[in-house]
Amino acid sequence: MSQFAIGLVLLSAVLHALWNFIAKRAIGGTSFVWLFSVIEATLYLPVLFYFLFIAQVDIGLPVVIFMAGSGLLHLLYFVLLSKGYQVGDLSLVYPLARAIGPLISTFAAILLFQERPTLLAFIGGLLVCGGVFWLTGDPRKLRKHDALPGVTFAGLTGLSIAAYTLWDSYAVSQMAIAPLMFQSGYGISRVILLTPIALRDWPSVQRTWDHDKWKAASVAVLSSLAYVLILIALSFNPVSYVAPMRVISTLIGVALGASLLKEGDVTRRLVAAAVMVIGVFALSLG
């Protein structure tokens, strides 16, 4: 990866950890996801207007399909992540999801895009798996510590991360869709998909607005900016390099959860997150 691409991913990691920290402190749920999605889509309307009416970019059916598909996958990701934060610690759910997603997407990219794994890549995968095991502790004790719901939703969130990473990478690299246009398009499609659900539970939306409107606005800005940087990096770098590099945000997320939210097992979680970071860097180098 070039220094420019590494800089994009590292800056994205910081923004990503910050918005996850904010989301963890919000009420969460579908209403919160819909609210910050609406704010995000509104902010990006001028961008979509520019591409359609000033730059006059021809958006055909394949582009629309990829935008809508990305909106669905990201909606699934946000809903699963929000639910994970409702039932589990930030310093558990966040690093697990961020490790599982890049791990799956890296190996899937190796299979789908004909990349050849090396011994270093396999070692990196083992380090990530070992870090995940260390982070969660003895699996037999998960029920006793009420960690199983958080671990479950973290795993499902990781699967959704892998899915949208591969999907979006193809869109911006192989189909050459401009990252900003793609971000605005899939953001709007996410709102369209989620609006019927939000309307059926409008009192919940109103409560979320009253309690968390500024958190929703912060998440809208930080999450979209963080992912635009990733889309730019994916447009000229392989998934197997960008996806693992993103996991550097786990260290920031664990540190925020442990220090500011006073979540337990600080040393074990930080060491486990560090092992996962080393593993994904090995994957990227391999």
Residue 175 phi/psi, 5° resolution? -90, -10
Per-residue pLDDT at 39? 96
Q: Domain of residue 22: give its range.
A: 3-285
- CA contacts within 13 A on the Cβ side of 263: 23
Burial readout 21-46 (b: 16 or more C-beta within 10 A, e: otherwise)? bbbbebebbbbbbbbbbbbbbebbee
Rounded-to-integer distance, Cα 243 and Cα 99, Å: 10
In this model, does residue 169 exceed pLDDT 80? yes
Per-residue pLDDT at 43? 93
In this model, does residue 284 exceed pLDDT 80? no
User: Model confidence over 28-81: pLDDT tens digits?
Assistant: 788 999 999 999 999 999 998 999 899 888 888 999 999 999 999 998 998 898
Q: DSSP secondary structure string, 15-31?
A: HHHHHHHHHHTS--SHH
pTM: 0.83
The number of folded domains in the chain is 1
